[in-house]
Structure 1
Amino acid sequence: MSVLAVLRRVRAYGGHFLLLAVLTLVTALLVTGLPRVADRLSGQGLREQLADLPGLRRDVLYQRPAEPQTGTSRVAATHRANLDSLLAGMPAPVREVVGERWYVADTEFGRLKGPELTADKGLFDLSLRTMTGLRESATLVDGRWPGEGADRAAPVETVLAEPVARQLGLRAGSRLRLALLDSDGREFSATTVAVVGLFRPVDAGGGAWDALPSALRLTPPVGDGQPFQMVGLTDDAGFDDRAAAGWAVSFGWRYRVDPGRLTPGRLDAVLDGIAQLDRERPAGLLLAQGVDIPLRQYADSLAAARTLLTIIAAGVLATLAGLTVLAARLAVRRRRDEYVLLRARGGSRTAVVRRGLAESVLVVPAAAVAGWLLGGLLPADPLGAGTPDAASRLTVLAAVLATLALPVAVLTGQRDGGGRRDLLRARGGAGRLTVEVTFIGLAALAAFLLRRRGLALGDEVDPLLVSVPVLLAVAAALLALRAYPWPLRLFSRLAARARGAVAFLGTARAGRVGVAAPLVVVVLAIATAAFCGVVAVGIEDGRDRAATRTVPADALVSGDRFAPDTATELAGLPGIRAVTPVLATPGQRLYADADGSPGGAGEAYVLLVEPAGFAEVARRSGLDPAVPAALRAGGDAATALPALVSPDFAAALADAGLADGAGRRPGWVDVQGNRLPFRIAGTAEEFPLIPGGTGRFLVLPWPGLPANAPHPLAPTGFLLAAGDAPVDPAALGRVAEEGQTRYQTSGAVTGGKRPLPPQVTTWAAERERLGGSGVNGLLVFGFATGAAGGGVLGLLALAFAVLAGARGRAQVLSRLRTMGLSRRQWRGLLLVELAPLVVVSVLTGAVVGALLPLLLNPVLGLSAFTGGAPVTVRFEPGLVVGVLGLALLALAFAVAVEAVNNRRMRLGEVLRLGEES
């Protein structure tokens, strides 16, 4: 066989080979491009999630506690050298992702006095600090830097932040006295401090200023009669002077992980390196870091996302493989006369197969190379390694299999006998039945083993997880093939008794058309698309529930304790339609009686809510958190309050013999100095406002205490409903902080630690946080690829199913047209014959796609995408509408393909030349 002869045959049957080439190109493109795009999206999500964290959450901090130093005169410089040595001692994966680093040395606080610090301003304590990167991170506003003068103005020269200096009335040139205080308040080890300059930070949010206490502002007193605290920046000479005087000094070396240096491929190595840091911590140093928590959370969500993407990719690639087989079989079927003639002229079966192989080799490998090159052009992770070797090997394998599809179809096509193959009785056969039963049994066994074994975590693809969805879809298609002709046969018998031949002929032909392979491919494609839709809806619902669990209203204001009138002030803000208080106290101990006898049930997270107000705020916010009827009844502190408890805490109470449902021996809990009795009215796995992972909690209705109670309950937060009006977090925070301050200064407490500012969290912000971080971009890409690819490939498979029986239908229609069948009846006959095929294939695929998440949910780890909230997978009504719309679209598409094919084949010529029956 010459190359020119092969080229002429390829040109003569260009449509068939073009279809094979396109399918091969798309397969190679997906195999090559999907890993690149997935790596880019996962790397981008990792870096964005880490960059959104506060800088301190990304720091690895070594600290040496404050203590006097002896034996060296250059304390600051000696410890500064550890900034490089500590980094060099880190494991290589951690060292490679460290970006910025800082060294800070602080003295203990001493009492600061001076002419400008008058008594009416209060008391002030000063700590001296030397740090790296000061001159790069700050700009002088007045004066000079310490140590730059011709002569030292004092043993200790310092610069202060401009806002601090202006607030205290200090300026460049101010001279102050700094001394330590003993337990009796007497001064010792005093020195003179000269303020030689004022500075302003280049970037107040930069990492150089994250050391605590802050050098940019005054730290308020922690109680009545306590001093303000401030930090002055000095040079090594000033710091060494105080260290030599016996002042206790502390040191810190801080290393910040740079998101721009992280890739998903390094995650495991970095996490192992961080764990190694604590095991190999240098003696005398303390280690503090929190970067491993967000990294582990991202690693878990990435593993779950890659599992989903693998299942989706397996479904799409299996569909493409089926389409390639269908395209090869269609090409062989259209050239069957050619192959029969070759055999009749003495050609061997091997020669015919070689002819098909030569034609395939000329087209398919080139298409695979083109797809590989196009996939390599897709954007990849800039920090990644490009196309993985596994993807290249899989591309070669796909190209080899696609090349062999045509010669294998030629070989199997020669073994098929003649005669009519569309009869219903031809659908049986012991051999085929054995194969189908074996395949269905294998699919069921694989699904059972997967649920028993669970997900095999690791970097490699789990073969069982990849194969189960494909096996189940094919098994469901085989069952549908066996089942759907029987109702058609019954309907055909009923139609035979009615007037008109369209319904009878259409159902009779639909019941005996052999379309096994195309129907399997259609079911596989639609199942992949439905799987994507169902899982996507389940994740969105899970995120909604997670956001509602955290913020069961339009907004949540949380803080320390608020004055009683804070609720009224919040309700008076524009747009606020309802407010209800909440009181949360973690770690409360249980008592056996009002006198405080130990109860023996341990501690629990206690939450007090106003049930009616809680339900009203949630309703006005458009949410529906479940509030049990037992809580809605409310309660009186004089009786046992109905309590909703977690199952673990309920078991502990039962073991202690407390708080049974009858309330004969109630349990007691202390809430802000009030001993409240309670009884178990119900159990729940979770409740809104209870932090996730809290296994022991107690929810009580807000008790009605007397007006003159010695310890009135002070809310620690408020739930607010704003309706359609936008929530103003700044206004809520301002009013809440005023209410918190009123409580601190109202006489209910004296002194005490200054509370942190209240936090305002809106439902919309919490929902956006859950849905817009981490691997969400990878999920959207996977679901979009699976849904769009499954839908398009399903329609293409339906086209193959239509074309597979096109010649037989064309002959029938040609005869019926000559017998007087009208064009309208002809379209009706097409519709009746094709509708069962389309409806059965689409509905079977949709049902399989909806059931797959229910089967695989325990091993998919979907809760990693919802902040830990469980994902409930269900078939939504919207998806039902979508499936029905897809079925109608598929039916219209099938009819259009048949009509176009009939016009192309010319029915009269089919009748004259296609006398196969």
Structure 2
Amino acid sequence: MSIGAVIRRVRAHRGQFLLLAVLTVVIVLLVGGVPRVVNRLAEQGLREHLAAEPAGRRDLTYTVPPFLGAPPASSQAGQLDVLQQQMPADVRAAVADRWYTAQTTAEQVTGPDLTRGDHLVELGLRAMPGIEATATLVDGHWPDGSAAGDAPVQVVLPADLAARFQLRVGSRLLLAAPDPGKPAVPLTVVGLFRPVDPADGSWDALPAVLQVIEPEGDAEPFVLVGVVAIGALDRLAAEGRAVSFSWRYRLDAAAIDVRRIDRFVDGVQRLARADAFPQVTQGIDVPLRAFDRAVDSARTVLAVIAAGVLATLAGLVVLAAASAVRRRRTEFVLIRARGGGVGTGLRRSLAESLLVVPPAAGLGWLLGTLLPGTPGGTGPLAVGATVLVTLALPVATLTVPSGVTGRRDLGRLRPSARRATTEAALVLLAGLAVVLLRRRGLTPGEIDPLLVSVPALVAVAVSVLALRLYPWPVRLAGRLAARTRGSVAFLGTARAGRAAAATPLVVVVLAVATAAFCAVVATGIESTRDDVATRAVPADALIRGDRLAPDTGPALERLPGVVAVAGLADEPAQRLATDADGTDSRLRDTSVLLVDGPGLDRTVRAAGRDVPVPGPLRDARPGAGPLPAVVSPAVAADLSAAGLRSAFVTVQGQRYEFTPARTVADFPLARPDTDRYVVLPWQALPARNSPPVPTGFLLAGDRLDVGLLRQAGDEGQQRYQTGGAVTGRERPRSVAVETWSQTRLRLGGGGANGLLAFGFTAGAVAGGVLALLAIAFTVLSGARARGAVLSRLRTLGLSRRQWRGLLLVELAPLVGVSVLTGALVGVLLPVLLTPLFGLAAFTSGAAVRVGFAPGLVAATVGLGAVALGFALAVETLNNRRMRLGEVLRLGEEN
């Protein structure tokens, strides 16, 4: 067998081999390129995830607490290299920046300038080697560490803080001694600076240099940090002042391998758990563990989607090989007739495949390497896929019958006993695999062979059942069509009732099921995120604070865009009592929520949120007896076990009796960190001398200004604190304002969400495109037989319009049942598999709710219409190419 003969045969059948080559390129490109994209998105998600965390959580800090007799601060800077070398290799490689500081404890400082401002200030002195490169002098000069021992210690301060306390270059201060028997230390301000980049990690040490610690009470001091030379700090340590040391390392997310996060976290935790000196503190393990769980879940979903896409491509390869062999069946039969054996055609097909498939696989792998990202180590999979595609055509050659076959359109085809047994075994195997997978579970993040095979098995099994059952209603429709006038409906249903041409549509079911699976799971995640956001903020905005003046509600209603306001009071960790005297019920602590039932109902309706307010809260009115309350299942169970029909709970110093009127498993506004809560109707509270005041407000409106809401809330807190008989000394913390849109955006942005979105988008698009391609294969598989029938009917007077109608009637049942079956499988698979994916990592811990989506029906109908139109277009183009007038002179059907 010469290579020239092989090349001539490939050129003669270039259409079939081009199709096989394109499929090979796509398969190898997906196997080699998609893991790169996945790794790149995971790395990008890790950077975004850690960037959203506070800077301190990305630091690995070694600290030595303040102690007397400390070694010279200048000698400890070299510990930066020593400590880094002692880190595990992965952690050491991730260090991006590092800083060394030494600091004295803060002591009271006095001076003429501070006296004029009537400020009570404590000052800590810190040595920060390298500050000259990260800050710019505004006035003065940097401190000189070689000053004489009796000279004042030179200090530089941030310009903004110095101006606040009326300090300037030349200001003289006196730092109090930690012990009464020691002399005070004179200080002089020699320079003022501003940071080049306030976000630079060198300023993140606590307490911060660029910020002042505000006093919590009227008699409390301000706390500042001044920068001195390292030599001056050595002098202070020699005089008996306690000095602390800190070596801080900033970890770079770009240097952390997302494929080995577990090993990195273990290394960090070993450092933190080690009983060593200095002490190690870190907080990066928590966000890394959370991100790793999300990536593992996303990789599991991606494995299922990839399995569906690759199974569809494998089916297309089988169809392409079968189509190529079917078109060359006469050639292989002639080889047998001339004395050739089974191996002759096999060797011929293998030589042709070796000439086409491996080069196409190489091209696909090369294209995959051009995609950005870390290689996924899928080279063996690409080689295995290439081998299987190469063997597809030779194996299909073995199925060519050795004799002459009769016409297949004269009678009804019945499945053989072997085929029926195979299909029954396939259905049983799919059911067994589903049961085994649900009972056994899986490890998220690992490519489980059973997990990736179950969707394909279920899709094939359901498609086999559907394609075996669908001819019966079609034949019934054919009997009804036989009683009507015209031949289009009768002939179309008669041909559609034969199941032989329906076999390739199993591939269509696989493709549509993959696309539907992606759409259903993505919709379920989005709807669950909506529910989580609505549970946290059941309207448009939520203000939470300490205690706010009662007139804060009317003040909020006057703000632009606000249409409804409802007050609430939240009391965490309250003890339940059995009587009005406060006898402890010996039940666990319970969170108490006080809401205005009618106001809450009005506000959630104005915001358009689907949040039903229970009747006991909405309809309660003041009266004798206990308050009707909505309780959690845990509280209801405890009260029932204790034999209590009612109980007492304290709200802002007042005790109220309640009785469980409704049990609700998930009440909006309840604290997410507890499953024990009692919700009382505010409008039904009995009159007391000290009625409760709100700790928050729920708002509904359009284009709400968060700044105005925060300002109104802070003013409400201030009015409550200063409006009573006793004025609070501590300044109230600013209220927290959270909007529904911000909560929803936080749930769906950053982290591994981009990886999951890529998988769903790519799976849906690939499933839809491959479904259309599989439908084209299905149409072309029976094109010659349909062409012969249409040629005969055209000679009998069939019009073009009737011809298109006949094609539509014949193809509509096949296309419709395949698309509908694929959509059904795509809805069924999430119900079976979603509990195994661990998708709660993407919904703030809430279980993903997968259910019926009306949009899926419209999408299925639209896909069916597009598929049917595509099938008609393919058939029309093929008939034009074949010239229907010549079809009767071609093939054994003649």
TM-score range, shorter chain: over 0.9
2:524 to 532, 535, 538: 538
Specify the SS of the correspondent of 1:528: helix
2:219 to 213, 216, 225: 225
Does 2:666 correspond to 1:686? yes
One-letter code aligned to 2:257:
T
Superposed, 1:321-720 pairs within 5 Å as: 321-380=314-373, 384=374, 386=375, 388-389=376-377, 391-414=378-401, 418-422=405-409, 425-458=412-445, 460-634=446-620, 636=622, 639-658=625-644, 660=645, 666-702=646-682, 709-710=689-690, 712-720=691-699
1:298 to 285, 291, 298: 291
Contact 2:43 2:254 survives alignment (8 Å): no
- 1:663 aligns to what? none
Residue deviations 1:375-426, cap 9 Å, x none?
Answer: 111111xxx3x2x33x111111111111111111111123586123356642
Per the TM alignment, residue 591 of structure 1 is displaced from its structure 2 partner at its CA by: 2.4
Contact 2:508 2:819 survives alignment (8 Å): yes
Per the TM alignment, residue 254 of structure 1 is displaced from its structure 2 partner at its CA by: 2.6
* CA distance in 2: counterparts of 1:742 and 1:188, whole angstroms: 46
- 2:305 aligns to what? 312
* CA distance in 2: counterparts of 1:572 and 1:347, whole angstroms: 94
1:86 to 79, 83, 89: 83
Q: Which structure 2 segments of 5+ residues have no match?
A: none
* CA distance in 2: counterparts of 1:136 and 1:744, whole angstroms: 46
Q: After alignment, is 530-539 or 773-782 more displaced?
A: 773-782
* CA distance in 2: counterparts of 1:222 and 1:142, whole angstroms: 32
* CA distance in 2: counterparts of 1:423 and 1:867, whole angstroms: 61
Superposed, 1:670-819 pairs within 5 Å as: 670-702=650-682, 709-710=689-690, 712-723=691-702, 726-747=703-724, 750-751=727-728, 753-819=730-796
One-letter code aligned to 1:8:
R
* CA distance in 1: counterparts of 2:696 and 2:725, whole angstroms: 18
* CA distance in 1: counterparts of 2:136 and 2:234, whole angstroms: 24
- 1:110 aligns to what? 107
Per the TM alignment, residue 79 of structure 1 is displaced from its structure 2 partner at its CA by: 4.5
Specify the SS of the correspondent of 1:412: coil
Q: Which structure 1 segments of 5+ residues have no match?
A: 661-665
* CA distance in 1: counterparts of 2:410 and 2:309, whole angstroms: 32
When the two structures are superposed, what TM-score results if normalisation uses the length of structure 2? 0.95
Residue deviations 1:672-692, cap 9 Å, x none?
Answer: 222222222222332223343
Superposed, 1:160-171 pairs within 5 Å as: 160-171=157-168
Residue deviations 1:884-916, cap 9 Å, x none?
Answer: 011111111111111221222222221133352
Q: 1:756 to 1:187 in 2, by over 3 A?
A: farther
- 2:863 aligns to what? 886
Per the TM alignment, residue 638 of structure 1 is displaced from its structure 2 partner at its CA by: 6.6
Q: 1:634 to 1:63 in 2, by over 3 A?
A: farther
* CA distance in 2: counterparts of 1:781 and 1:77, whole angstroms: 52
* CA distance in 2: counterparts of 1:493 and 1:606, whole angstroms: 70
When the two structures are superposed, what TM-score results if normalisation uses the length of structure 1? 0.93
Does 2:206 correspond to 1:212? yes
Q: After alignment, is 1-10 or 544-553 more displaced?
A: 544-553
Per the TM alignment, residue 455 of structure 1 is displaced from its structure 2 partner at its CA by: 1.9
Specify the SS of the correspondent of 1:230: strand
* CA distance in 2: counterparts of 1:73 and 1:410, whole angstroms: 85
Q: 1:749 to 1:2 in 2, by over 3 A?
A: farther
* CA distance in 2: counterparts of 1:289 and 1:591, whole angstroms: 42
Does 2:30 correspond to 1:30? yes
* CA distance in 2: counterparts of 1:444 and 1:879, whole angstroms: 25
Q: 1:77 to 1:667 in 2, by over 3 A?
A: farther
Specify the SS of the correspondent of 1:221: coil
* CA distance in 1: counterparts of 2:419 and 2:142, whole angstroms: 90
* CA distance in 1: counterparts of 2:204 and 2:599, whole angstroms: 41
Per the TM alignment, residue 222 of structure 1 is displaced from its structure 2 partner at its CA by: 1.5
Residue deviations 1:764-814, cap 9 Å, x none?
Answer: 122111112112221222112111111111111111111111111112112
Query: What is the total number of aligned residue pairs between the two structures?
Result: 894
Contact 1:591 1:667 survives alignment (8 Å): yes
Contact 1:484 1:840 survives alignment (8 Å): yes
* CA distance in 2: counterparts of 1:257 and 1:11, whole angstroms: 58
* CA distance in 1: counterparts of 2:708 and 2:392, whole angstroms: 68
* CA distance in 1: counterparts of 2:190 and 2:36, whole angstroms: 56
- 2:138 aligns to what? 141
One-letter code aligned to 1:767:
R
Contact 1:154 1:194 survives alignment (8 Å): no
Residue deviations 1:154-176, cap 9 Å, x none?
Answer: 44322222122212221111112
Specify the SS of the correspondent of 1:625: coil
* CA distance in 1: counterparts of 2:321 and 2:88, whole angstroms: 55
* CA distance in 2: counterparts of 1:249 and 1:561, whole angstroms: 41
One-letter code aligned to 2:648:
W
Specify the SS of the correspondent of 2:254: helix
Contact 1:176 1:194 survives alignment (8 Å): yes
- 2:9 aligns to what? 9
Residue deviations 1:555-580, cap 9 Å, x none?
Answer: 22223222222223222221122222
One-letter code aligned to 1:97:
A
One-letter code aligned to 1:654:
S
* CA distance in 2: counterparts of 1:299 and 1:620, whole angstroms: 40
Q: 1:238 to 1:565 in 2, by over 3 A?
A: farther
Superposed, 1:139-218 pairs within 5 Å as: 139-147=136-144, 151=148, 154-180=151-177, 189-218=183-212
* CA distance in 1: counterparts of 2:636 and 2:239, whole angstroms: 60
Contact 1:109 1:180 survives alignment (8 Å): no
Contact 2:492 2:809 survives alignment (8 Å): yes
Q: 1:684 to 1:707 in 2, by over 3 A?
A: closer
Per the TM alignment, residue 448 of structure 1 is displaced from its structure 2 partner at its CA by: 0.7
Per the TM alignment, residue 648 of structure 1 is displaced from its structure 2 partner at its CA by: 2.4
Contact 1:513 1:805 survives alignment (8 Å): no
Q: 1:245 to 1:742 in 2, by over 3 A?
A: farther
Superposed, 1:815-826 pairs within 5 Å as: 815-826=792-803
Task: Percent identity, please.
Answer: 57
* CA distance in 2: counterparts of 1:680 and 1:706, whole angstroms: 17
- 2:98 aligns to what? 101
Q: After alignment, is 877-886 or 818-827 more displaced?
A: 818-827
Specify the SS of the correspondent of 1:488: helix
- 1:264 aligns to what? 258
Residue deviations 1:682-736, cap 9 Å, x none?
Answer: 22332223343422222222266677723x423222222123xx22222222222
* CA distance in 2: counterparts of 1:901 and 1:404, whole angstroms: 28
One-letter code aligned to 2:689:
A
* CA distance in 1: counterparts of 2:583 and 2:278, whole angstroms: 43
Per the TM alignment, residue 513 of structure 1 is displaced from its structure 2 partner at its CA by: 4.3
* CA distance in 1: counterparts of 2:804 and 2:3, whole angstroms: 45
Contact 1:105 1:130 survives alignment (8 Å): yes
Q: 1:787 to 1:63 in 2, by over 3 A?
A: same
Specify the SS of the correspondent of 2:369: helix
Q: 1:583 to 1:253 in 2, by over 3 A?
A: farther
One-letter code aligned to 2:273:
R
